[in-house]
Amino acid sequence: MNTREPDGLLYENLANHIAGLIDRGGFRSGDRLPSLRKTCVQHGDSTATAMQAYVTLENRGLIEARPKSGFFVRSRWSDTAPEPCLTAPCCKVRTIKSRSLIGQVFEAAGRSDIIPLGAACPSAEVLPAEKLSRMLRAVDRQNARRAIMYDPPPGCEPLRRQIAKRSMEGGENLQPDEIITTVGCMEALNLSLRAVAAPGDIIAIESPTYFGVIESIRELGMRVVEIPMHPRDGMDLEALELALGRHKIAACFCTPSFNNPLGSCMPDKNRQRLVAMLAKRQIPLIEDDIYGDLHHGIVRPRTAKSYDREGLVMLCSSFTKTLAPGFRVGWVAPGRFFDRVLNLKFTNTVATATLPQLAIAEFLQNGGYDRYLRGVRVFYGEQIQRFSEAIAHSFPTKTTISRPTGGFVLWVGLPKGCDALALHEAALARNISITPGPLFSATPAYRNFIRITCAHPWSREIERAIVVLGELAKQQLG
């Protein structure tokens, strides 16, 4: 499955060397790094190694590529608040209690009178609505009858072909017949969970993690054990190892590329180790790669799936964050659990809507998806930067802010004494939606954390909203 082997750790050494220079002021914000060729000559490495080192630094958020100008040291975090530290959730197994707040957060996303910093939904202004609309018309013109008929599981063949083709980027090299299309990533995750775990079973999850998955696990009658997260490197594998020794874990759910809400990106060697650790115990890994295409650096992170030799990794994703949330088109590559997931897909929704699948297949083939992604990545990188600076400026001292290297959300830690749920209420009363931290755990954690979505183009209204949020937080501190 995997063709792109890492070339030892040469590039990591080189990356660490450069990172050290940046750290000690050898390179400063805005400085141009030596060209790839020059770096090769200086360090005696191959161009590939130098490239990989630069990409690693990009993924760490230290440098950025500017088209046709080379690599520059990012200024991004200089004006912002410190990072949050390693999370420390309660590691007991949890039966999850019902959380009615989720509906409220989601509902706010649909209101036009709200400054939408809550739901992690891309902005209509950024999505390629016009082009998708052209694709829809093209598909419909070609064959209106096909569009209204079923496309039974595994789903739309042209779309699966395009997904397979693109899977080289993540290093998986999937075949179309390894893929099942789904109603967004949520159905993919749901079917994966149901395929490998039963009610009462324990799922190891990241803490914090996307509240929808916690709720989904709860509704399936399963339990969770939460694993601490490093704010940049993602899941703490030592802690996972401990949990695996202590509990009978049925599956592990993980978002190696840009955990929602942390934005962490698991280093390649950790991904490799994670897959090996689970394979040793024959535990399936449900990998959520929904933000994988939205890395701010140049090269897409490899998926954990790309290290999978045993078909134990179930890779889930969708086009919800990149192209069209309302199309509800996702997919899963469930490895050895293909037949189980296929049958579950049939009993859950029979099939995925045909027309949106055909339109996305057309977009991937002829719509300039890569060009579009390049633009949107730069946009989200800049948004993250701008929001971080504004938050650091307006929020109480001792606020911490995550350093995402992909996606479009920030995880903001408020000083002890702040209450995210009360802040959420107060903000809603001022027509601002945010997502309170406690949603991202089944434990009573993250009471002073909030998630801020930076998907909507920066504006005076958003600027004012951030100021208001800062004031509300300060009021809480008295």
Name which of 215 and 226 has its Cβ closer to a second copy: 215
Of the candidate spans 89-97, 124-132, 432-440, 446-454, the one that interacts with a second copy by CB under 8 A turns out to be 124-132
Of the candidate spans 15-23, 183-191, 276-284, 293-301, the one that interacts with a second copy by CB under 8 A turns out to be 183-191
Tokens found for residue 385? 């930067």
Name which of 41 and 144 has its Cβ closer to a second copy: 144
Q: How far apart are CA 436 and CA 162, in angstroms?
A: 37
- The per-residue b/e assignment along 206-235, b for 16 or more CB within 10 angstroms, e otherwise, is bbbbbbbbbbbbbebebbbbbbbbbbbbbb
Peptide bond into 404 cis (omega under 30): no
Interhelix angle 354-366/157-166, nearest 10 degrees: 40
Of the candidate spans 43-51, 54-62, 128-136, 277-285, the one that interacts with a second copy by CB under 8 A turns out to be 128-136
Q: Is 124 in the site for a second copy (CB under 8 A)?
A: yes
Of the candidate spans 104-112, 232-240, 285-293, 294-302, the one that interacts with a second copy by CB under 8 A turns out to be 104-112
Binding a second copy (rule: CB under 8 A), the pick from 33, 93, 174, 183 is 183
Tell me, residue by residue from 81 to 100, as one string, x for binding to a second copy by CB under 8 A and - for no binding. Answer: -----------------x--
Tell me, residue by residue from 23 to 62, as one string, x for binding to a second copy by CB under 8 A and - for no binding. Answer: ----------------------------------------
Tokens found for residue 37? 């060729």
Q: Is 152 in the site for a second copy (CB under 8 A)?
A: yes
- Choose among 199, 277, 202, 198: nearest CA to 235: 277
Tokens found for residue 318? 């969708």
Q: Which residue has the tokens 């890779």?
A: 315
Tokens found for residue 321? 């964050």
Taken in order 90, 94, 99, 102, the sign of the CA dihedral is positive
- Choose among 298, 254, 275, 315: nearest CA to 60: 298
Name which of 152 and 311 has its Cβ closer to a second copy: 152
Q: Is 7 in the site for a second copy (CB under 8 A)?
A: no
Q: Is 372 in the site for a second copy (CB under 8 A)?
A: no
Of the candidate spans 148-156, 244-252, 279-287, 373-381, the one that interacts with a second copy by CB under 8 A turns out to be 148-156
Name which of 344 and 392 has its Cβ closer to a second copy: 344
- The per-residue b/e assignment along 265-302, b for 16 or more CB within 10 angstroms, e otherwise, is bbbbebbbbbbebbbeeebbbbbbbbbbbbbbbeebbb
Q: Are 454 and 123 in contact (CB under 8 A)?
A: no
Q: Which residues bind a second copy (CB under 8 A)?
A: 98, 102-103, 106-107, 109-110, 121, 124, 127, 129-130, 132-133, 136-137, 140, 144-153, 183-184, 186-187, 190, 194, 198-199, 212, 215-216, 218-219, 221, 323-329, 342-344, 346-356
